[in-house]
Structure 1
Amino acid sequence: MSIGTPLMWSVFAIFVVVALLIDFFALSKQGAHSVSMKEAGIWSLIWVAVSFVFVGLLWWYLGGLSTDPAREALANGKALEFITGYLVEKALAVDNIFVFLMLFTYFGVPAAYQKRVLMIGILGALVLRAGMILVGAWLVTQFHWVLYVFGAFLVFTGFKMWWAAGQEPDLENNPALRWINKRMKIAPGYDGERFFTMVNGVRMATPLFVVILLIGVVDVIFAVDSIPAIFAITTDPFIVLTSNVFAILGLRAMYFLLAGMHEKFHLLSYGLAIVLVFIGTKMLLIDIYKIPVAWSLGVTVVVLAATMLLSLRIPAKEGAAMGGAYPFPAKHRESEH
Structure 2
Amino acid sequence: MDIGALTWALTIGLVLVLLAVDLVLAVVRPHQVKIGEAAAWSVFYVLFALLFGVWFTLAHGGQAGTEYFVGYLVEKSLSVDNLFVFVIIMSTFAVPEAHQHKVLTFGIVLALALRGVFIAVGATLLALFSFVFLVFGLLLLYTAVQLFRHRNEDPDVEDNVVVKTARRVLPITDDYDGGRLFTRAEGRRMATPLFVVLLAIGSIDVLFALDSIPAVFGITSEPYVVFVANAFALLGLRALFFLVKGLLDRLVYLSTGLSLILAFIGVKLILHWAHKDVDPRVPEVPTLLSLGVIVVVLTVVTVASLLKTRRDPSAKARPGSLRARRPQPADHP
User: Shorter-chain TM-score category?
Assistant: 0.7 to 0.9
Call closer, same or farther: CA 1:168–1:7 in 2, change over 3 Å.
closer
Instruction: Work out whether residues 158 and 277 of structure 1, in 8 Å CA contact, stay in contact via their aligned partners in 2.
Output: yes
Give runs of aligned pairs for residues 228-307 of structure 1, distance below 5 A: 228-286=214-272, 287=275, 288-307=282-301
**Matches of 2:181 and 2:131 in 1, distance apart?**
44
Higher deviation after alignment, 151-160 or 17-26: 17-26
Give runs of aligned pairs for residues 155-234 of structure 1, distance below 5 A: 155-234=141-220
Whether 2:71 is the aligned partner of 1:110: answer no
Secondary structure of the residue that 2:159 maps to in structure 1?
Answer: coil
**Matches of 1:26 and 1:173 in 2, distance apart?**
32
In structure 2, the partner of 1:326 is: none
**Matches of 2:92 and 2:205 in 1, distance apart?**
18
Instruction: Work out whether residues 219 and 287 of structure 2, in 8 Å CA contact, stay in contact via their aligned partners in 1.
Output: yes
Instruction: Work out whether residues 86 and 247 of structure 1, in 8 Å CA contact, stay in contact via their aligned partners in 2.
Output: yes
Structure 1: gaps spanning 5 or more residues: 63-74, 324-337
Secondary structure of the residue that 1:203 maps to in structure 2?
Answer: strand
In structure 2, the partner of 1:321 is: 318
Q: 2:31 aligns with which of 33, 46, 50?
A: 33
Higher deviation after alignment, 40-49 or 177-186: 177-186
Secondary structure of the residue that 2:183 maps to in structure 1?
Answer: strand
In structure 2, the partner of 1:146 is: 132
Shift of 1:296: 0.8
**Matches of 1:127 and 1:168 in 2, distance apart?**
26
Q: Identical aligned pairs, as a percentage? A: 40
Secondary structure of the residue that 1:189 maps to in structure 2?
Answer: coil
Shift of 1:319: 6.3
- How many residue pairs get aligned? The number is 309
Secondary structure of the residue that 1:269 maps to in structure 2?
Answer: helix
**Matches of 2:158 and 2:4 in 1, distance apart?**
48
Structure 2: gaps spanning 5 or more residues: 276-281, 321-333
Secondary structure of the residue that 1:192 maps to in structure 2?
Answer: helix
Instruction: Work out whether residues 121 and 212 of structure 1, in 8 Å CA contact, stay in contact via their aligned partners in 2.
Output: yes
Call closer, same or farther: CA 1:151–1:35 in 2, change over 3 Å.
same
Instruction: Work out whether residues 169 and 321 of structure 1, in 8 Å CA contact, stay in contact via their aligned partners in 2.
Output: no
Call closer, same or farther: CA 1:23–1:58 in 2, change over 3 Å.
same
**Matches of 1:255 and 1:157 in 2, distance apart?**
24
Shift of 1:128: 1.3
**1:129-179 deviation line (CA, Å, top 9, x unaligned):** 112111111100110000000000001101111111112433343333222
**Matches of 1:81 and 1:3 in 2, distance apart?**
14
**Matches of 1:180 and 1:233 in 2, distance apart?**
37
Shift of 1:208: 0.6
Whether 2:29 is the aligned partner of 1:15: answer no
Call closer, same or farther: CA 1:318–1:59 in 2, change over 3 Å.
closer
**Matches of 1:167 and 1:121 in 2, distance apart?**
23
Shift of 1:317: 5.5
**Matches of 1:86 and 1:257 in 2, distance apart?**
19
Instruction: Work out whether residues 74 and 294 of structure 2, in 8 Å CA contact, stay in contact via their aligned partners in 1.
Output: yes
Secondary structure of the residue that 1:186 maps to in structure 2?
Answer: coil
**1:203-232 deviation line (CA, Å, top 9, x unaligned):** 321111100111110121111111100110
**Matches of 1:160 and 1:60 in 2, distance apart?**
40
Call closer, same or farther: CA 1:170–1:34 in 2, change over 3 Å.
same
User: What residue identity is the alignment partner of 1:52?
Assistant: L
User: What residue identity is the alignment partner of 1:13?
Assistant: I
**1:25-59 deviation line (CA, Å, top 9, x unaligned):** 44456x11111122111101100111111111122
Higher deviation after alignment, 175-184 or 185-194: 175-184
**Matches of 1:189 and 1:180 in 2, distance apart?**
16
